[in-house]
Amino acid sequence: MVTGSSGASAAGGSGSVVMGAPRLWGYGGPPVLARGPGYHCATARRPAEAARGTHGPVDAEEEPAGRRVDDLVLDAARDCVLAYGVRRTTVTDVARRAGVSRMTVYRRWPDVQSLVADLMSREWHQVIVDAAAAAASAAGPLRARLVAQSTAAAARLRAHPLLRKILEVDPEILLPYMLDRRGGGQEEMLAFLQQTIAAGQAEGSVRMGDPALLARAVLLTAQSFVLSAPTVTDGHPVADLDAELAVLLDRYLAPAPPSS
């Protein structure tokens, strides 16, 4: 819905429908939770460094424990952004937090903006995976599971600490993906929606129409519930709006009743 690195391809999945879009970026590390008050990512040391008793950078392709440098850097970037936003995050901060040299970061990302874009792609992908798991038990046809996953993804993304921080202090980071171009997260969600809508049409639970067009309408609707919900709640629980989103999507995708 909200996005990450632009221009990411939606290719790479098989032809079968999976309730959870194909893994597009290959980042394997689990998300890092926000630290408590007073945490500063530029001065904090990783547990591995503390155990070694050194601040020296690790400039290897892979840590001894098997964690790739990409994951370490992305985890460090997430900590830094959560601590004080995108604009105040520097490559030096991220490298120090990850325990790698600045050149290690620059060999992978030319600047903080591209690093944060890949970070968003990784985090939003995990949201889609988690939403798929949450919707896996939804009873009924594919349409019911698609609606359940889309609604769960919107709710999880809206509550995501990284998105909340960006909206709070650096909302302009998201403007290009809302006004100018799609990014990796949107491409992944579109691929999932289009594939699942086509399968739902084949089983008869989704109305006929161009799956690509229907997928874009669903994405635009869900995206508005992610970004604009706080402006219209007016005391209503956000969960109630999520229930309305489910109704909107279900009725939009439902086949027309047979004419009498």
Secondary structure (H, E, C), 135-165 = HCCCCCCHHHHHHHHHHHHHHHHHCCHHHHH
pLDDT for 155 equals 94
Is 68 within 8 Å of 61 (Cβ atoms)? yes
Banded pLDDT at 177 (limits 50, 70, 90): confident
- The torsion of the CA quartet 102, 105, 110, 115, rounded to 10 degrees, works out to -130
Is 9 within 8 Å of 21 (Cβ atoms)? no
Banded pLDDT at 33 (limits 50, 70, 90): very low
Token readout for 168 is 């709070």
pLDDT for 233 equals 83
Name the pTM for this structure: 0.72
Report how far residue 220's alpha carbon sits from residue 237's, in angstroms, rounded to the nearest whole number: 22
Report how far residue 223's alpha carbon sits from residue 233's, in angstroms, rounded to the nearest whole number: 16
Domains of the chain: 47-112 (1.10.10.60), 113-253 (1.10.357.10)
One-letter amino acid of 43? T
* Alpha helices, DSSP H, located in the chain: 47-52, 69-84, 91-98, 102-108, 112-135, 142-158, 161-169, 175-179, 184-203, 211-227, 229-232, 238-253
Lowest mean pLDDT: which of 18-32, 83-97, 134-148, 233-247? 18-32
Q: 50-64 pLDDT, tens per residue? A: 333 344 454 445 554
